[in-house]
Amino acid sequence: MTGEKIMTERYEVIVCGGGMVGAATACALAHGGIKVALLDRFNPARQWPQEPIDNRVSALTKASQNILETLGAWPGMVQRGVCAYRDMRVWDARGDGELHFDCADTAFSELGHLVENRVTVAALWDVLDTLSFAHCISPAKVVDMQLNETGRQLVLEDGRILEADLIIAADGRDSALRTMAGISVTGWDYHQDGLVATVSTELSHQSTAWQRFLEEGPLAFLPLNNGQSSIVWTLSSATAKNHLALADKEFLLVLEQASGGILGKMLEVGPRAAVPLRFQYANNYIAERFAVCGDAAHAMHPLAGQGVNAGLLDAAALAELVIQTKQENRPLASTRFLRRYERWRKGDNLMMMASMDVLNKTYAMTTQPLVSLRSAGMNWVNHSALIKAHFNHYAMGLRDDLPKLAKKQICW
């Protein structure tokens, strides 16, 4: 009816972006008794045909597994399909350097798990359906955000108005909410693309993550539970474009040559895609009644697969602090707890991002003395049990100052 007043829907927290990080944030908050709305532009699939495997695959650390187990999502993920990897082998195509990480050198039966992103999202949304404090709204596109005396107000494309004490942006690298909040970013293009596809190989992947450093960037083969491998191949943007245009047969020959034959012949390849790579970080993680997490806060080079794991740690830390703030009867948008979140996560994320950036630039060096020095360093690490144990521990996400969920402890 013309002139009818639009009712405002009120929540304590609204999370914008229903991917892995946003859904995990909303799930943790709802477990903690926070009335939370999760907004996404699409309604995620909960089931799909067994084939083909989705191109978007993540290597989840033990810390990420702990978060997802504590939230109740892990059983749904296992049911849909996860693949443990027990070894990681890294070698330099231009030198004789190599590294081998083995779960036998740890207290665990695997180094991590390879999981399709859609599997993690579907399992988290399944859990959200069971939580009375969680409200999933999709499809929903935010077209405006305003700050008022009682919170932040969101206007959706369909005219609905939502309001909350706190807005959390988990809407990706090109976050519209981050821009609306006036938070700027710093970063640069790598002029590289990450080419992704699923391949069938002559030899078994042996539950091993393989990574070969080539002239334009690393080529990784990540094991999948159906025996195939997911590839992530860092290439110059021009080369990636050319490789996408190749016929399947030609691409498989190029890939086989680049792999050094480690998995034998390349037999089949599914649909290919390429994602432009950037180094980018939000200059602030917070604004008044507002916070960013996941890719909205940081985008890093994928060579060690740490992006989503850093995002899940953001989710766990932010939810823990919001829940603690409510338990202490403080305002949910208290600047004190938002600053604690920024201090907690920004330094750790910047350190991880800088490490990935340095590694990428180190392996881009082509002069022989530097290649020899790099190989010597790799081999030295490979023969030092103490240093390898430290690297293993860090790569599995089991470092100091973790949120409770990452240590498999509830925070509510």
Number of domains in the chain: 1
Asked, for residue 139, whether it belongs to a domain, the answer is yes
Question: The domain spanning residue 31 has which CATH number?
Answer: 3.50.50.60
3-state secondary structure of 396: coil
3-state secondary structure of 247: coil
Asked, for residue 179, whether it belongs to a domain, the answer is yes
Q: Would you say 73 and 123 are in contact if contact means Cβ atoms under 8 Å apart? A: yes
Separation in Å, CA 160 to CA 81, 155, 378: 37, 6, 56
| Distance (Å, whole) CA 29 – CA 15 | 10
| Distance (Å, whole) CA 188 – CA 278 | 6
Rounded to two decimals, the pTM is 0.94
Asked, for residue 283, whether it belongs to a domain, the answer is yes
Phi (first) and psi of residue 98, to 5 degrees:
-150, 155
C-alpha neighbours within 13 Å on the C-beta side of residue 60:
29
- Quickly count helices (H) and strands (E) in the chain: 11, 20
Per-residue pLDDT of the chain (412 residues; tens, 9 = 90+): 445 567 889 999 999 999 999 999 999 999 999 999 999 999 999 999 887 888 899 999 999 999 999 999 999 999 999 999 999 998 888 777 788 888 888 888 999 999 999 999 999 999 999 999 999 999 999 999 999 998 999 999 999 999 999 999 999 999 999 999 999 999 999 999 999 999 999 999 999 999 998 989 899 999 999 999 999 999 999 999 999 999 999 999 999 999 999 999 999 999 999 999 999 999 999 999 999 999 999 998 887 678 899 999 999 999 999 999 999 999 998 899 999 999 999 999 998 888 878 777 776 777 777 778 777 877 777 778 777 777 777 777 777 789 999 999 999 9
Asked, for residue 226, whether it belongs to a domain, the answer is no
Asked, for residue 124, whether it belongs to a domain, the answer is yes
Say if residue 139 is preceded by a cis peptide, omega within 30 of 0.
Answer: yes
Asked, for residue 338, whether it belongs to a domain, the answer is yes
* DSSP track, 351-395: HHHHHHHHHHHHTT---HHHHHHHHHHHHHHHT-HHHHHHHHHHH
Domain, as residue range, for 183: 8-82+115-187+279-368
Asked, for residue 3, whether it belongs to a domain, the answer is no
User: Residue 16: which of 164, 124, 131 has the closest Cα?
Assistant: 164
Asked, for residue 224, whether it belongs to a domain, the answer is no
User: Residue 343: which of 317, 319, 377, 362 has the closest Cα?
Assistant: 317
| Distance (Å, whole) CA 239 – CA 223 | 25
